[in-house]
């Protein structure tokens, strides 16, 4: 890839698949008999908060058993070249970009290691479970939920993302099915060139100037080097 470009990289669950974290739509698996897409909703949380908290507690606990992979590390090397001209926008709630060493990471759909108090609106760094209703360190209410963005909720920092897409020379989408908005529309908002790196053609593959298919652990280092 050329140098001296402003680059926005969007990542999805596929970039963390080779680290051992399951994706949403192609894992073929259920979590305790439930479709993850049905659990990751405000409706599920309203109906059965205990179930939804256990789902997120299990995923938060899994973070300590996985490591960043070659794709995460390649994006760190890209940042070493581009500096502040690279922004990684991730839909992922894991922290593998940060643990690899990326500094400019924007979590569009929130973070597993953060808890949000719906009573006082504070966010708190969080490592342990939430299922037993621990008190909010700020206000003491047992109203902490995972600090993640569910369907019908507004993704974080859209103003920052829109501006970066408008200013970029290159937009690269890695490991996402292209089925969830607004991220699925970023390819249309990007002013510059567009490239998709995904295991298979995503739902929006034909909207990209170029689409390369294979595992992120191979494609991303090959693109960065």
Residues near ligand BJW (CB under 6 A)? 12-14, 17-18, 23-26, 40, 91, 93, 109, 148-155, 158, 175-177, 179-182, 198-200, 202, 215-216
CA dihedral 58, 59, 64, 66 (to 10 degrees): 130
Q: Please state the closest distance from residue 135 (CB atom) to ligand BJW, in A.
A: 24
Q: Does 29 appear as a known binding residue?
A: yes
CB of 215 to ligand BJW, least distance (A): 4
Residue nearest to ligand BJW (CB): 14
Q: Measured on CA atoms in the order 96, 101, 106, 110, is the torsion positive or negative?
A: positive
Residues acting as catalytic residues:
109
- 114 marked as binding residue: no
Distance between CA atoms of 29 and 117, rounded to whole angstroms? 31
- Known binder of ligand: residue 211? no
Q: Which is nearer to ligand BJW, 68 or 155 (CB)?
A: 155
138 vs 150 by CB, closer to ligand BJW: 150
Bridge partner residues of 105 (DSSP): 88
Could you give the C-alpha distances from 46 to 30, 39, 41, 49, 220, in angstroms and in order?
20, 11, 9, 6, 39
């Amino acid at each position: 890839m050329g140098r001296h470009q402003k680059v926005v990289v969007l990542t999805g669950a596929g970039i963390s698949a080779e680290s051992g974290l399951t994706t949403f739509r192609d894992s073929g698996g259920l979590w305790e008999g439930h479709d993850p897409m049905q659990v990751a909703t405000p409706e599920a949380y309203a109906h059965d908060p205990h179930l939804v908290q256990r789902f997120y507690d299990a995923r938060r606990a899994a973070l300590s058993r996985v490591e960043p992979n070659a794709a995460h590390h390649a994006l760190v090397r890209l940042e070493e070249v581009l500096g502040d001209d690279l922004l990684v926008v991730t839909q992922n709630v894991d922290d593998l970009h940060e643990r690899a060493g990326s500094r400019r990471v924007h979590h569009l759909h929130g973070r597993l290691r953060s808890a949000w108090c719906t009573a006082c609106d504070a966010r708190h760094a969080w490592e342990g479970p939430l299922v037993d209703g621990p008190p909010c360190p700020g206000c003491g209410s047992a109203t902490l939920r995972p600090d993640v963005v569910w369907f019908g909720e507004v993704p974080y920092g859209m103003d920052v993302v829109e501006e970066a897409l408008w200013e970029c020379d290159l937009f690269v989408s890695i490991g996402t099915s292209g089925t969830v908005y607004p991220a699925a529309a970023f390819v249309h908002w990007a002013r510059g060139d567009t490239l998709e790196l995904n295991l298979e053609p995503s739902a929006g593959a034909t909207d990209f100037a170029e689409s390369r298919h294979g595992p992120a652990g191979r494609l991303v280092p090959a693109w960065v080097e």
